[in-house]
Amino acid sequence: MFDLVIRNAWLHDGSGAPAQRGALAVSGGRIAAIGADLGPGRREIDAQGLALMPGIIDGHTHYDAQLTWDPFADPSPPLGVTTAVIGNCGFTIAPCRPADRDLTMRNLTQVEGMSLDALRAGIRWDFESIPQYMDMLQASRPGVNVAAFAGHSAIRTYVMGEGAHQRVATDAEIARMADLVREAMAHGAVGFASSTNEPHNGWNGIPMPSRLADAREMLALTRAMGESGRGLFMLTKGNVTPMAQLEEIAEQSGRPVLIAAMFHNNTDPSRVFDELALMQAARERGHALIPQVSACPLTMDFTLHSAYLFESIPAWKTAISLEGEPLRALYASPDFRAAVKADLERQQGRGLFNGEWHLMQVAQAARPDNIGLEGRTVLELATAQGCHPLDWLLDFALSENLDTYFTAQLRNTDVQAVGQLVADPATHVSLSDAGAHLTFLCDAGFGLHLLGHWARDQQALSLAQAVHKLTGHPARLFGIADRGLLREGLAADLLLFDPATVGRGRNERRFDLPAGASRLRAQGIGVHGVWVNGEQVVDANGLLPDAPRAGSLLREFQA
Ligand SMILES: [Zn+2]
């Protein structure tokens, strides 16, 4: 007798092969049998022709902090995710000395859009080292499977203190950092993650520590990772990092380099394809440079209290550390506005926001008499008043005490181009950034969006290929040998869904973080069940109220 049998399903096995109609049985948390006619189960489900696939592996999340207060990594499981990779971009919370906790939280607040109150109230600091953090995650039993990167910025702060934000490292400091990378790999880290990305600033707009690393530090730390004979180097790449440097890292470390964030940018439309071509050429020379792309438009909701999307504009730096009256006075100042406009002209497609005012809208007005403006673009509203869009934006926000919510589409809005990126067999589709930018966006439902929007609606790739991109492909990439496919003996991480309706629903704003802080939260559509290691955690109504903590910290990876 099996624990569970799901019958009459279209089985998408994660390999990219066409679906087969059949049944799947689970026993002891593993897939026990797959076939046309299986014996009885203690629990039987008639799927009535729904699709069954391996659970989604989300390769780019930032649940490092959230997992210490929310073991389920909400909202990922109801969106089909059964494995989350944390520590991306190198923004981990371990290692961290007690004295550095507040600085670490302030940096996360800025760089990942989490409220400082939420972090202070939420994080359980029962660890100092990376092994201690990993042991704590395992002991508290996560609700999803978790794989953790060792994080460059945390390691740098641990070794260099305040200097981590200010200067290049000495040989002795690099040697100590390399030892911490070795220690993390020995305790089951999935790899080493870093960022050289310009919008990645910490408290008061100071660059995150990894942005201060020189080429010799990057090479030493990735080689330390490579000594383990496994692992990936994950990098969110800024404009300053040449592809040749990354190819050298792949060569010297002997390990793949996973390169984020490969978005399509309307104001520099060939750039992403040029970079993909460089990576392809490197792969042909035997050096695994792998582009990480997103299935979602990069959309940010923001108020002018804290407008992350403008923070890579040099003239905006003065605004980052201000609030209240001084911030309002700055926004009103003609000099500030002139400087921002000049920078926007100069940066020519290199910023996070590049002057696409026609893709910025009023999302939620603060004053009832302005509700009629919701959904209208900043460009059309400014044109109607005969002023520059920046002036309109700042004047309007000031008239609403900066409480207006705006929404801006910053990347990945070109259907043709993005369809090409997600369908390319070489790309790793992820970049949900789940657990981060919580007040600005929620792309945790990226997998459902790939299945519904890109496979079913746009037909950019087949459903079987889309399933592969979310399961078998990332499992192989991260060396997760016992997941990502429907095969006898593998872990029973499963997603039961309706291909006719699957997708991601609207985001809603909730105030359910620690200290009552707000976040955007996506709803799934067409999800009928999610199982983690054979235990059901989600049904058609979402996360089960008594969902078991069935996940595990993954520590063994194939080379
Ligand atoms: Zn990230």
Task: For residue 77, report the distance from its CA to the centre of ligand 1, in Å.
Answer: 19
For ligand 1, a single-atom ion, the residues with CB < 5 A are: 88-89, 433
Question: Which pLDDT score is estimated for 515?
Answer: 75
Q: What are phi and psi of 288, to 5 degrees?
A: -80, 90
CATH number, domain with residue 166: 3.20.20.140
Task: For residue 299, report the distance from its CA to the centre of ligand 1, in Å.
Answer: 14
Give pLDDT tens digits for 500-549: 999 998 878 777 777 777 787 888 999 999 999 999 999 999 999 999 99
**Do residues 34 and 7 both lie within one domain?**
yes
Q: Give the torsion sign (CA, 279, 283, 286, 292).
A: positive
Task: For residue 131, report the distance from its CA to the centre of ligand 1, in Å.
Answer: 22
**Do residues 21 and 108 both lie within one domain?**
no
Task: For residue 31, report the distance from its CA to the centre of ligand 1, in Å.
Answer: 32
Task: For residue 235, report the distance from its CA to the centre of ligand 1, in Å.
Answer: 9
**Do residues 337 and 374 both lie within one domain?**
yes
Q: Is residue 468 part of a domain?
A: no
Question: Which pLDDT score is estimated for 337?
Answer: 97
Q: Is residue 347 part of a domain?
A: yes
Six token digits for residue 426: 């070489």
DSSP state of 170: P
C-alpha–C-alpha distance, residues 50 and 526, integer Å = 10
Closest CA to 111 of 516, 510, 439, 513: 439
CATH number, domain with residue 17: 2.30.40.10
Q: Is residue 234 part of a domain?
A: yes
**Do residues 265 and 320 both lie within one domain?**
no
Helix, strand, or coil here: 124? coil
Task: For residue 132, report the distance from its CA to the centre of ligand 1, in Å.
Answer: 23
Q: Is residue 167 part of a domain?
A: yes
Q: Is residue 203 part of a domain?
A: yes
Question: Which pLDDT score is estimated for 531?
Answer: 98
Helix, strand, or coil here: 531? strand
Helix (H) or strand (E) holding 30: strand 30-35
Strands 542-543 and 232-236: unpaired
Task: For residue 213, report the distance from its CA to the centre of ligand 1, in Å.
Answer: 18
User: If you write DSSP's letter for every residue of 375-444 in order, what string do you get?
Assistant: T-BHHHHHHHHTS-HHHHHHHHHHHTTT--EEEEEEE---HHHHHHHHH-TT-EEE---BTSSTTT---T
Task: For residue 555, report the distance from its CA to the centre of ligand 1, in Å.
Answer: 21
Q: Do residues 152 and 210 lie in contact, with contact meaning Cβ atoms separated by under 8 Å? A: yes
DSSP state of 138: H
- From residue 23, how far is each of 12, 19, 45, 330, 482 by CA, in Å? 11, 12, 10, 64, 20
Question: Which pLDDT score is estimated for 523?
Answer: 86
C-alpha–C-alpha distance, residues 127 and 532, integer Å = 26
Task: For residue 200, report the distance from its CA to the centre of ligand 1, in Å.
Answer: 9
Task: For residue 298, report the distance from its CA to the centre of ligand 1, in Å.
Answer: 12
Q: Is residue 310 part of a domain?
A: yes
Task: For residue 165, report the distance from its CA to the centre of ligand 1, in Å.
Answer: 19
Give pLDDT tens digits for 304-338: 998 888 988 999 999 988 999 999 999 999 999 99
Helix, strand, or coil here: 237? coil
Q: Is residue 514 part of a domain?
A: no
How far is C-alpha 242 from the geometric centre of its chain's CA atoms? 23
C-alpha–C-alpha distance, residues 381 and 360, integer Å = 11
Contact partners, residue 194, CB within 8 Å, separation at least 6:
89, 90, 151, 152, 153, 210, 213, 218, 221, 233, 234, 235, 236
Task: For residue 428, report the distance from its CA to the centre of ligand 1, in Å.
Answer: 14
Considering the entire predicted model, what is its pTM? Answer: 0.92
Beta strand segments in 185-284, E = 191-195, 232-236, 257-260
Task: For residue 437, report the distance from its CA to the centre of ligand 1, in Å.
Answer: 9
**Do residues 241 and 309 both lie within one domain?**
no
* N-to-C CA span, the chain: 36
Q: Do residues 515 and 476 lie in contact, with contact meaning Cβ atoms separated by under 8 Å? A: no
- Burial of 284 from C-beta contacts in 10 A (0-12 / 13-18 / 19+): exposed
Closest CA to 461 of 295, 299, 296, 297: 295
Task: For residue 394, report the distance from its CA to the centre of ligand 1, in Å.
Answer: 28
Count CB atoms within 10 A of the CB of residue 330: 16
- Total count of domains within the chain: 3
**Do residues 280 and 323 both lie within one domain?**
no
Helix (H) or strand (E) holding 532: strand 527-532
- From residue 7, how far is each of 37, 45, 184 by CA, in Å? 9, 6, 42
Question: Which pLDDT score is estimated for 30?
Answer: 98
Domain boundary residue, one of 30, 49, 68: 49
Closest CA to 17 of 503, 539, 465, 376: 465
Closest CA to 493 of 32, 16, 145, 37: 145
Task: For residue 322, report the distance from its CA to the centre of ligand 1, in Å.
Answer: 25
Task: For residue 88, report the distance from its CA to the centre of ligand 1, in Å.
Answer: 5
Question: Which pLDDT score is estimated for 6?
Answer: 98
List per-residue pLDDT tens for the chain, 559 residues long.
Answer: 999 999 999 999 999 999 999 999 999 999 999 999 899 999 999 999 999 999 999 999 999 999 999 999 999 999 999 999 999 999 999 999 999 999 899 888 877 777 888 889 899 999 999 999 999 999 999 999 999 999 999 999 999 998 999 999 999 999 999 999 999 999 999 999 999 998 788 877 788 999 999 999 999 999 999 999 999 999 999 888 999 999 999 999 999 999 999 999 999 999 999 999 999 999 999 999 999 999 999 888 899 998 888 988 999 999 988 999 999 999 999 999 999 999 999 987 788 899 999 999 999 999 999 999 999 999 999 999 999 999 999 999 999 999 999 999 999 999 999 999 999 999 999 988 888 777 677 789 999 999 999 999 999 999 999 999 999 999 999 999 999 999 999 999 999 999 999 999 887 877 777 777 778 788 899 999 999 999 999 999 999 999 999 999 999 999 8
The whole domain housing 392 covers: 301-409
Task: For residue 87, report the distance from its CA to the centre of ligand 1, in Å.
Answer: 8
User: If you write DSSP's letter for every residue of 53-99 in order, what string do you get?
Assistant: EEPEEE-SB--TTGGGT-TT-TTTGGGTEEEEEE-GGG--S-S--GG
Q: Is residue 395 part of a domain?
A: yes
> Which amino acid, residue 28?
G
Phi-psi region of 426 (alpha: psi -120 to 50; beta: other; left: phi over 0): alpha
**Do residues 243 and 312 both lie within one domain?**
no
**Do residues 432 and 327 both lie within one domain?**
no
**Do residues 101 and 167 both lie within one domain?**
yes
Task: For residue 433, report the distance from its CA to the centre of ligand 1, in Å.
Answer: 5
**Do residues 278 and 293 both lie within one domain?**
yes
Task: For residue 107, report the distance from its CA to the centre of ligand 1, in Å.
Answer: 13
Task: For residue 98, report the distance from its CA to the centre of ligand 1, in Å.
Answer: 24
Q: Do residues 485 and 16 lie in contact, with contact meaning Cβ atoms separated by under 8 Å? A: no
**Do residues 148 and 199 both lie within one domain?**
yes
**Do residues 213 and 185 both lie within one domain?**
yes
C-alpha–C-alpha distance, residues 312 and 446, integer Å = 25
